[in-house]
Amino acid sequence: MKQYWLIYSRLIGCVFILLSSFCIFFTTVTHSEVIHHQRIWSWPPPESGPGPPPGPSPQNKTTPAVLFFGDSILDTGNNNDLLTTEMKCDFRPYGMNFPSGVATGRFSDGKVASDYISELFGVKSIVPAYLDPKIQPEDLLTGVSFASGGSGYYHMTPKISRVWSMLKQLTWFQQYIERVKRLVGQEKTDHLLTKGLAVVVAGSNDLFITYYGQGAQWLIYDVDHFTSMMATSAASFVMQLYGYGVKQIAVIGTPPLGCVPSQRTVKGGLPRNCAQDLNYASQLFNAKLSIALDQLAKTLPNSNLIYIDIYSPFSQIIENPQDYGFEEIKKGCCGTGLLEVGPLCNRFTPFVCSNVSSYLFWDSFHPTQRFYKILVKLLFDKYIHRLD
């Protein structure tokens, strides 16, 4: 009798949990629909009219170096020696399609965005992590990555993720400049900084982890206020980079974050739809970031600050995956593809998908190298004319 009672009470408990998660799901959906008015992909409205004027051919641009700051999209292994973080991936099956199949600490099956950006600028096809102990002096002269997976603009984000903050990345950069000066002297260092290109990508973890996730800042701030704070810190970061002598700075916004597999799993219901609240937050942040950079550019002499919209091409590919040869866009390739990321996608993961190239996402957060390659090429073609 007692046992029946136990089972019965557990059953009630389960029903309660089910009901409450349904309620959370339901309120999230209705809430976001109210503020969203079906503006799923087209806000801000897609640009139309004649495209950008054709610039000089990319080959003529002589970029001496590319420097990367931000999060996992650009990180090439800076978290490898961090012992306390889960934001690591220097183990198989990460890197299975990287040259010689090594897991370098890149959050993908192969190369990441920084590698492809550097390659398109004719600098080099693999960008070393600044903290890589095997780094050579020559590596410094053409650029490195300071980015750290799990990092973000908002001060709490790297603390929650236990990774390198944006401020710490700037400290490494300061140290980097001193090393370059010792190698090639002041004049060549100045040339590297003024003619080189710095690329910054962050913001996703501020929204995923700090606002909606573990950091639960949604309890304190509305999304409008929070994204404003993010944009302010982004602008402050860019100003500091400029302060170190970098003139050309490209800042990439956030993609439709609600469409990554983990968010589809948590908030997308059975059809695995995109989470509208995250997509809306992402668009709001992008709009503010773009305005903040425009305003900042006016106050910094000889600066070339470029806001790069990644949201539109990303959505374009998600809406027309077949045009780009993708068959699976809702699940990651590693494991079940529903939630695995970092330590959950590892050598004990029972399986990876049979054809990584047909997947948009490698794990439940991060793109496959094929997707990175396509996306970076689209951005490069669209924005190359904006660079000196």
Ligand X SMILES: *[C@@H]1O[C@H](CO)[C@@H](O)[C@H](O)[C@H]1NC(C)=O
Residues that bind ligand X (CB under 6 A): 56-57, 60, 325, 355, 357-358
Nearer to ligand X, 252 or 374 (CB): 374
Nearer to ligand X, 52 or 325 (CB): 325
Active site residue 31: no
* 32, 72, 161, 165: the active-site residue: 72
* 71, 75, 315, 366: the active-site residue: 366
Residue 109 CA to its chain's centroid (Å): 15
Active site residue 364: no
Closest approach of Cβ 360 to ligand X, in Å? 10
Residue 308 to residue 231: CA distance in whole angstroms: 14
Closest approach of Cβ 183 to ligand X, in Å? 29
Amino acid residing at 382: K
Amino acid residing at 80: N
Element (H, E) at 211: none
Q: Starting at the edge strand that comes first in sequence, how are the strands of the sheet with 197-201 ordered?
A: 66-70, 197-201, 248-252, 304-308
Closest approach of Cβ 25 to ligand X, in Å? 32
CB atoms within 10 A of CB 6: 10
Nearer to ligand X, 279 or 368 (CB): 368
* 75, 132, 206, 363: the active-site residue: 363
Nearer to ligand X, 56 or 137 (CB): 56
Going by C-alpha positions, the residue among 86, 129, 124, 125 that lies closest to residue 106 is 129
Between vectors from CA 113 to CA 370 and to CA 331, what angle results, nearest 5°? 50
Residue 222 to residue 261: CA distance in whole angstroms: 25
Closest approach of Cβ 270 to ligand X, in Å? 26
Burial 37-52 (b: 16+ CB within 10 A, else e): eeebbebeeeeeeeee
Q: Are 145 and 68 in contact (CB under 8 A)?
A: yes
Nearer to ligand X, 42 or 355 (CB): 355
Active site residue 222: no
Q: Are 77 and 90 in contact (CB under 8 A)?
A: yes
Nearer to ligand X, 56 or 243 (CB): 56
Nearer to ligand X, 60 or 84 (CB): 60
Q: Report CA torsion sign: 171, 176, 179, 184.
A: negative
Q: Are 248 and 308 in contact (CB under 8 A)?
A: no
Nearer to ligand X, 46 or 56 (CB): 56
Residues 6+ apart with CB under 8 A from 374: 317, 324
Closest approach of Cβ 322 to ligand X, in Å? 9
Closest approach of Cβ 6 to ligand X, in Å? 51
Burial 77-95 (b: 16+ CB within 10 A, else e): bbbbebeebebbbeebbbb
Closest approach of Cβ 326 to ligand X, in Å? 6
Closest approach of Cβ 384 to ligand X, in Å? 12
Gyration radius of the chain's alpha carbons: 22
Residue 332 CA to its chain's centroid (Å): 16
Catalytic residue numbers read: 72, 363, 366
